Copies of this chain bind each other. A is one copy, B any other.
Amino acid sequence: MTDAELDAKLAELGLALPQAAAPVASYVPVVEAGGMAFVSGQLPFIDGQLVTGRLGEDVSEEAGYAAARACGLMLVAQLKAAGLIGRIARVVKLGAFVNCTGDFTMQPKVANGASDLMVALFGEAGKHARSAVGVPALPLGAAVEVDAIVALVS
C-alpha cells in the first residue's frame, strides 16, 4: 500500500490521520529491528485533543472505542512518518491498555476500536494478535494507550 492509497482508504472510511505526535519523553516513536517495526504506545487524540478519562466512570464504551481507534490512527501516523506504510507485511500484535475502574470488563470492546481499524485499512494483513487489559492510570490521564509490532517487507 502506498501513502496515497492509505490516504484514499482513510478518506473512504471517513477518517484521517492525526499529526504524528512527538514522544512525551525520551524515546522514539518507531524502532525497526529484525524485520519488525516496534511502535511506542500511542495516546488518543481526536481533533488535536487528548481523550482523557476512565472507562466505567466518565468515558462510555462508545467513546472508549473511538479513543482506541484514535490510538490506532496515531500508530498508523507514526508508521507513515517513519516511511514504513509501503513495507507493512502484517500487523503482528497490538497491546491495548484501557484506563478503567475495577468493575469494568469490556476492555475487548474498547480495544476493538484499534483492531477494527487495522483490518479496515490493511485487510488480511491487518489481522493481529492482541492483549487487552485494564489499568488504573495512563500518561496525561489518557483513556486508552495502544502499542504495536508490525512485520515489514525487507
Contact = CB atoms under 8 A, between A and B. Distances in A.
A104 B134 contact: no
B54 A102 contact: yes
22 contacts: A25-B111, A25-B112, A25-B132, A26-B116, A27-B94, A27-B130, A34-B35, A38-B129, A38-B149, A40-B130, A41-B130, A41-B132, A41-B133, A101-B136, A101-B137, A105-B138, A106-B139, A107-B138, A108-B140, A133-B138, A135-B136, A136-B136
Interface of A: 23-31, 33-36, 38-41, 54, 56, 89-90, 92-95, 97, 100-109, 111-112, 115-116, 119, 127-141, 145, 147, 149, 151
Interface of A is mostly: mixed
Contacts of A119: 26
A49 to B, nearest CB: 16
The oligomer's copy count stands at 3
Contact of A136 (B34, B94, B134): B134
Contacts of A141: 105
Contacts of A137: 56, 100-105, 107, 133-134
B129 A139 contact: no
B127 A27 contact: yes
A154 to B, nearest CB: 10
B33 A92 contact: yes
A134 to B, nearest CB: 3
A41 B131 contact: yes
